Chains A and B, each alone.
Chain A
Amino acid sequence: MNDPFLLGGREFASRFLLGSGKFRNKQDLHASILASGTGIVTVALRRIDLTRHEDNILEHIPPGIVLLTNTSGARTAEEAVRIARLAKASGHGTWIKVEVINDSKYLLPDNEATVAATRVLAAEGFTVLPYISPDLYTARLLVDAGAAAVMPLGSFIGSNQGLRTRDFIRVLIEEIDIPVIVDAGIGAPSHACEAMELGADAVLVNTAVAVAANPPLIAKAFAQAVEAGRAACLSGLPVPHAAGDASSPLTGFLFQ
């Protein structure tokens, strides 16, 4: 099936995006990237720990992968913009997942600040993928601001609860003309498949892969689930019925 994923002016073979946090070791991360076939990996920017000489995560991400730097740690639009500019100065790309969070309990994104940061960064030429609570009005503002996609949360970050916001994500899929990438809360390949069946353009997963007993194996399972969900969506899924509907002919019974 020739079904390329177009995002930010580029074409990707995979509709699965992988986060690089929480992995037990860099070898698991590297193997998971390869097993998933992903073309996009998220990373974060942090101060260097002067007491430890750690190797840089970029050394463990295969060449050709697009780095999507998140602005985690930003509590305001201004802080998100600053992180994005630092990422650009590194020379490792201008793809930014805008993530502005003030709420330390639920880790819900600040949609208003996210729109403000997106407006600034898109005008500066960044490819901006904003992480949001799924809200139609916010998504429309993000389209106008120049976002390359919207990334609505499926449920709380790292919660593995799946698509608790399913109906609201469906609204974005129906109403927004830029890619919808479901992010956060996807805890099992079945959740990823569900998002793709619903019509999402792609799915981003981190925790469920990183904390699995065998990260490369589940990364592959997620990629397969995303493919299956996409194929199902394109195939035209049947409408559920409240009652039974026989699959075999209702004529010519042997006992009539």
Chain B
Amino acid sequence: MPDGATLHDLVARFAPNPALVVTELNGTIIAAAARQGQPVRDKDTIELVAFMGGG
């Protein structure tokens, strides 16, 4: 990701439907509305999770 990229940018790049993705940054859940103002940096631990089929 380029310098200054946000979590919002990252989700937009990797998820076809960002509204259905949940994000965690360094162990903290980041609400969708807060992604735009959340910068991502080297060595951050980022989780992008989404619903899948399951029983």
Partner of B48, one of A48, A56, A59, A92: A48
In the complex, whether A127 has a CB less than 8 A from a CB of chain B is: no
Q: Are A69 and B29 in contact (CB under 8 A)?
A: no
Report B-chain residues with C-beta under 8 Å of the C-beta of A57. 51-53
When C-beta atoms are compared, the residue in chain A nearest to B11 turns out to be A48
Q: Tell me, yes or no, whether B16 is within 8 Å of chain A by CB.
A: yes
A55 and B54 within 8 A (CB): no
Instruction: Give the distance to chain A from B11, nearest Cβ to Cβ, in Å.
Output: 9
In the complex, which residues of chain A have a beta carbon less than 8 angstroms from the beta carbon of B53?
A: 19-23, 29, 43-44, 57
Instruction: Flag whether A10 is at the interface (Cβ < 8 A).
Output: no
Identity of the chain A residue whose Cβ is nearest the Cβ of B20 in the assembled complex = A56
With A and B bound together, what is the CA distance between A87 and B14 in angstroms?
19
Q: Which of A46, A67, A85 counts the most chain B CB atoms within 10 A?
A: A46
Given contacts A53-B16, A56-B20, whether A86 and B29 have CB atoms under 8 Å apart is yes
Q: Which of A4-53 contact B (CB under 8 A)?
A: 19-23, 29, 42-48, 50, 53
Which B residue's beta carbon lies closest to that of A90?
B22
Taken together as a complex, chains A and B put the C-alpha atoms of A184 and B55 apart, in Å, by 9
CB-nearest residue of chain A to B27: A82
Contact A46 B24 (CB under 8 A): no
Q: CB of A206 within 8 A of chain B?
A: yes
In the complex, which residues 57-98 of chain A have their Cβ closer than 8 Å to any Cβ of chain B? Answer: 57-59, 67, 69-70, 72, 85-87, 89-92
A118 partner residues in chain B, CB cutoff 8 A = none
The residues of B with any CB-CB pair to A shorter than 8 Å are: 14-17, 20-22, 24, 29, 31-32, 47-55
Please list 16 pairs of residues, one from A and one from B, whose beta carbons are closer than 8 Å in the complex, sorted by A's number: A43-B52, A43-B54, A44-B55, A45-B51, A46-B49, A57-B52, A59-B17, A59-B20, A67-B51, A70-B54, A85-B29, A91-B32, A92-B51, A184-B55, A206-B55, A207-B55
* Nearest 9 A/B pairs, CB to CB: A44-B54, A19-B55, A206-B55, A20-B53, A21-B53, A56-B20, A48-B48, A21-B55, A89-B29
